[in-house]
């Protein structure tokens, strides 16, 4: 049976105290809504309809690249039932409808498959959760045989009903034709004068349709976000879930509570990740990779047996196997490291290819360069790639040795096996296998004496004369 997913994303989120619509608030570096959309896609939904309202076009504009989403405007905020009504006109009767919330981002696809499966029997399926403190949640009402007969919202519940611990999560699934009929019967006769989606439960029970309560395995899956404190709570929960995924895949985490996964991270066996690591976007860590403390890795592939020492930043980079990086190294977008390459402390590499076995171990900048195999880049070397208007390339051929403190002024080529003497400024390409250096001749000044400290008045006079020779 085809599946339509309706995501309710029209809430204003007053308690956020933010100009940003609630569903665009960031969770692990992405809008809350994006997490829900991703799950809907994982279910293989035939249609995904997002009901938006507060924030106007901000919400669809944030997803302009998502051509598979259908946007439904809820011009008036008249409740969750009213929001679903706006979408139903676009859904065929033979579909199963799954209702999700744009501010409930952690529900697993496995849980939702169970919910959809229960609804395909022809009735209404509700996702419920057992809570010690159910304040703010609608309560599940059952009959004397234990069957679900309805839901009462917290604001409308009696003192006795508020003692019920089984709570409604708001997530539900039903056949489209039946849901449409049940929604027509919903009335705004409640304290908030809104059309509650939960009232379809009473409608379904009234016409004898099957009602199934599907308990969620863990309450964390249905945590909603209404303020910044709840957003932080959900962030903590997501961090814990993703840390668990990495450990099940074979990674060892020094402290699962101190890692941030803000994207799609895959690991091979025996990866080790130290505290404070932040992994963003698409990151792949090969077997036995070691990530030191407080590293940031974004959109990168790291080859097997590579060691990344503390406090490195690696972005849009491809690293081959058995490399050594850092500490305090920065690999910027467009960097490719070959096997056994070493990038050391306080070295920055940008848009460059570093060949197998090459090393830049100390205090250097390599930008817009192609570095061959077996090259040694000495401490303090800079590829001077920018002339103030254009970026120029540097080529360092296989086996070259660049002495410390050298400036390679691009465009320039350093020959294979060439040696550049320390402290040189190279402005022209150099021959293969030759020593090239540019230095002023060293000299010693005889009878020179180191300046002595002057009294303040004499120092003031000396400065004045140096700045204005005509002064007295």
The CATH number of whichever domain residue 327 belongs to comes to 2.160.10.10
Cα separation, 422 vs 418, whole angstroms: 13
Tell whether 315 and 211 lie within a shared domain: no
CA angle at residue 256 from 255 to 260, to 5 degrees? 110
Instruction: Confirm whether 381 is domain-assigned.
Output: yes
CA neighbor of 1 nearest in space, from 191, 141, 176: 176
Residue 192 has pLDDT above 80, yes or no: no
Cβ(366)–Cβ(346) under 8 Å? Answer: no
* 92, 198: one domain: yes
For residue 472, pLDDT beyond 80:
no
Q: Which pLDDT belongs to residue 4?
A: 98
Instruction: Specify whether 319 is located in the same domain as 217.
Output: no
pLDDT of residue 54: 66
Q: Are residues 211 and 254 in the same domain?
A: no
The verdict on 189 and 294 lying in the same domain is no
Q: Single out the residue in 222, 241, 258 at which a domain terminates.
A: 222
pLDDT at res. 202: 84
What's the number of domains the chain is made of?
Answer: 2
pLDDT of residue 88: 95
Residues 205 and 256 in one domain: no
If asked whether residues 281 and 214 sit together in one domain, one would say no
Give per-residue pLDDT as tens, 5-29.
999 999 878 899 998 999 999 999 9
The share of the chain scoring above pLDDT 70, in percent, equals 99
Average pLDDT on 217-242 reads 93
Domain boundary among 185, 202, 222: 222
Find the mean pLDDT for residues 324-349.
98
Q: How confident is the model at residue 244 (pLDDT cuts 50, 70, 90)?
A: very high
Average pLDDT, the chain: 93
The verdict on residue 413 lying in a domain is yes
Q: Are residues 125 and 49 in the same domain?
A: yes
Are 193 and 103 in contact by the 8 Å Cβ rule? The answer is: no
Of 204, 222, 240, which residue is a domain's last? Answer: 222
Q: Is 339 a catalytic residue?
A: no
| 229 inside domain | no
pLDDT number for residue 55: 64
Q: Which of 54, 154, 284, 362 is catalytic?
A: 362
| CATH code of the domain covering residue 162 | 3.90.550.10
* Three-class DSSP category at 308: strand
Q: Does one domain contain both 206 and 286? A: no
Determine the average pLDDT of the residues in 145-174: 88
Residue 27 within any structural domain of the chain: yes
Summarize pLDDT for 91-120 with one digit per residue, the tens: 999 999 999 999 999 999 999 999 999 999
273 and 196: one domain? no
Cα–Cα distances in angstroms (integers) from residue 126 to residues 38, 107, 178, in the given order? 21, 14, 15
Q: Which residues of 389-407 are buried (b: 16+ CB within 10 A; e: fewer)?
A: eeeebbbbbbbbbbbbbbb
Least confident of 243-257, 365-379, 398-412, 448-462: 448-462
Whole-structure pTM value:
0.85
Question: What is the extent of the structural domain holding 300?
Answer: 250-436
Nearest-CA neighbor of 96 among 187, 6, 219, 209? 6
71 is a domain residue? yes
Average pLDDT of the residues in 47-65: 89
20 is a domain residue: yes
- Flag whether pLDDT at 462 surpasses 90: no
pLDDT for res 190: 73
Residue 332 domain flag: yes
Kindly state whether residues 333 and 210 are assigned to the same domain: no
Greatest Cα pair distance, the chain, in angstroms, is 110
- Tokens standing for 314? 């690696």
Answer yes or no: are the C-beta atoms of 263 and 279 closer than 8 Å: yes
Question: Is 448 a domain residue?
Answer: no
**Same domain for 170 and 273?**
no
């Amino acid at each position: 049976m085809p599946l339509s997913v309706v995501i309710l994303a029209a809430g204003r989120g007053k308690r956020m105290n933010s100009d940003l619509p609630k569903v665009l608030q960031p969770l692990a570096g992405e809008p809350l809504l994006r997490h829900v959309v991703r799950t809907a896609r994982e279910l293989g939904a035939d249609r995904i309809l997002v009901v938006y309202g507060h924030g106007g076009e901000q919400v669809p504009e944030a997803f302009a690249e998502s051509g598979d989403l259908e946007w439904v405007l809820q011009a008036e905020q008249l409740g969750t039932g009213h929001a679903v009504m706006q979408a139903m006109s676009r859904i065929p009767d033979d579909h199963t409808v799954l209702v999700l919330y744009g501010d409930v981002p952690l529900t697993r696809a496995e849980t939702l498959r169970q919910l959809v499966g229960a609804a395909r029997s022809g009735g209404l399926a509700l996702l419920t959760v057992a809570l010690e403190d159910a304040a703010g949640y609608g309560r599940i009402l059952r009959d004397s045989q234990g069957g679900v007969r309805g839901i009462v919202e917290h604001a409308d519940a009696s003192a006795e009903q508020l003692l019920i611990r089984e709570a409604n999560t708001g997530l539900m699934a039903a056949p489209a034709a039946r849901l449409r009929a049940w929604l027509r019967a919903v009335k705004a006769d409640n304290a908030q004068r809104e059309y509650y989606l939960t009232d379809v439960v009473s409608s379904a029970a009234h016409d004898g349709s099957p009602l199934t309560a599907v308990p969620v395995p863990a309450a964390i899956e249905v945590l909603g976000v209404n303020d910044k404190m709840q957003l932080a709570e959900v962030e903590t929960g997501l961090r814990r879930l993703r840390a668990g995924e990495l450990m099940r895949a074979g990674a060892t985490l020094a402290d699962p509570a101190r890692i941030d996964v803000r994207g799609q991270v895959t690991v091979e066996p025996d990866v080790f990740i130290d505290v404070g690591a932040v992994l963003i976007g698409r990151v792949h860590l090969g077997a036995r990779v070691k990530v030191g403390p407080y590293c940031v890795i974004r959109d990168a592939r790291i080859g097997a047996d590579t060691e990344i020492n503390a406090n490195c930043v690696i972005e849009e980079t491809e690293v081959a196997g058995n490399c050594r990086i850092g500490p305090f190294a920065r690999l910027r977008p467009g960097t490719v490291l070959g096997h056994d390459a070493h990038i050391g402390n306080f070295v920055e590499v940008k848009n460059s290819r570093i060949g197998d076995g090459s090393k830049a171990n100390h205090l250097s900048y390599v930008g817009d360069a192609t570095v061959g195999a077996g090259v040694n880049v000495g401490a303090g070397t800079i590829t001077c790639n920018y002339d103030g208007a254009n970026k120029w390339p540097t080529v360092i051929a296989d086996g070259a040795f660049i002495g410390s403190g050298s400036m390679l002024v691009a465009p320039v080529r350093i020959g294979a096996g060439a040696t550049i003497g320390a402290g040189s400024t190279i402005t022209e390409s150099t021959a293969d296998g030759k020593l090239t250096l540019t230095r002023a001749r060293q000299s010693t000044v005889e009878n020179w004496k180191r300046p002595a400290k002057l009294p303040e008045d004499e120092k003031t006079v000396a400065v004045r004369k140096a700045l204005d020779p005509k002064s007295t």
